Amino acid sequence: MTQIATVEEVLAGGYVRISVPRKSACGHDCEECAGCGMTGAAIYTTAKDPVGVSVGEKVVVESSTKKLLGVVALVYMLPVICFLAGYFLSDGLAESVRYVIAIAAAALTMIPIVLYDRYANRKGTLTYTVVRPF
């Protein structure tokens, strides 16, 4: 997956600190919508710099799509699967109890999500690489 980022700082060892604009499904055509209140939030991270860029420069960065899809599956699919499993496996109980069990099962998925987030931050599993100047 490629994105456009801004170089914020040049770090030692061939790395740079970049800011990547947060993307979402809405497309952020805020002039037309203004429904979500989102105003161009950015994510700050480090990226490998084999090109040799300078501060303030716009660059094209690339991240591993395979790793990103795994994170998406963990964050979005696991809670849905656990919610449905909690609901359907509690068959025979009162409807309100089934919903409580399903919501609790979905809420428990926050534990592996947070643990993986900490692991990914510690190990640097989701990395960006500067491909070229923009």
- Would residue 126 be called left, alpha or beta, if left means φ above 0 and alpha means ψ between -120 and 50 degrees? beta
* pLDDT tier, 22 (very low <50, low <70, confident <90, very high otherwise): confident
pTM of the model: 0.61
- Indicate if the pLDDT at residue 16 is higher than 60: yes
Give the mean model confidence (pLDDT) for residues 57-62: 92
Q: Where would I find the H helices in 1-124?
A: 65-72, 78-89, 95-108, 110-123
- Asked if residues 82 and 63 have their Cβ atoms less than 8 Å apart, the reply is no
- Asked if residues 83 and 105 have their Cβ atoms less than 8 Å apart, the reply is yes
- Structural domain boundaries of the chain? 2-133
